[in-house]
Amino acid sequence: MDIALIIIGSIFLIVGLIGCIVPILPGPPLSYVGLIILEFNSKINFSWFILIITGIIMIIATILDYYVPIWGTKKVGGTKWGIRGCAIGLIIGLFFGIWGVLFFPFLGAFVGEIVYFSIKQKGMKKMFWRALKSATGSFLGLMCGIAFKLAISCFIAFICVKEIIISYF
């Protein structure tokens, strides 16, 4: 049974790491589920401190995941169109590998802002620079959110792998 728990927990850890980049999967919560599954192993024992602290950090990361791209866009004067374009660009970018995930959110935010400003009928030069600024803010917010989630999930995975190695080797 212990080997089955290690395999299932490891699968959750790996899917959690993938979920940090793929917007459909909640990365840190899946990594935390992997940690909890490993806790049921007879040889692996995490302290209550580790379980509570990683749980709190996971909740904070999940909440910030929704707020940071919005904050990045708003901080530079972006609109909801840029935020939505960034999200759509990220989803489309998934089909184009790592480069799609890196560049399509920026492109989506830029196109979203261009559409917004063209509806508002602002000047073309002003529209381009405001859209570029907003797209940059949205992209940086998204990348900061991904980096934070990835750091949390890597930390949880590190704790789990370390405990497995200590317990079994």
Structure tokens at 73: 């866009």
* pLDDT in the model for residue 122: 64
Cβ contact 153:28 at 8 Å: yes
Q: Structure pTM?
A: 0.79
Q: Is the dihedral of CA 48, 50, 51, 55 positive or negative?
A: positive
pLDDT of residue 130: 81
- pLDDT above 90 covers a percentage of the chain that reads 40
Would you state the pLDDT for residue 156?
Answer: 96
Lowest mean pLDDT among 103-112, 133-142, 148-157: 133-142
Residue 157 has which token pair?
A: 């995975």
The sign of the dihedral angle between the CA atoms of 5, 7, 13, 18 is: negative
Please give the biggest Cα pair distance in the chain: 67
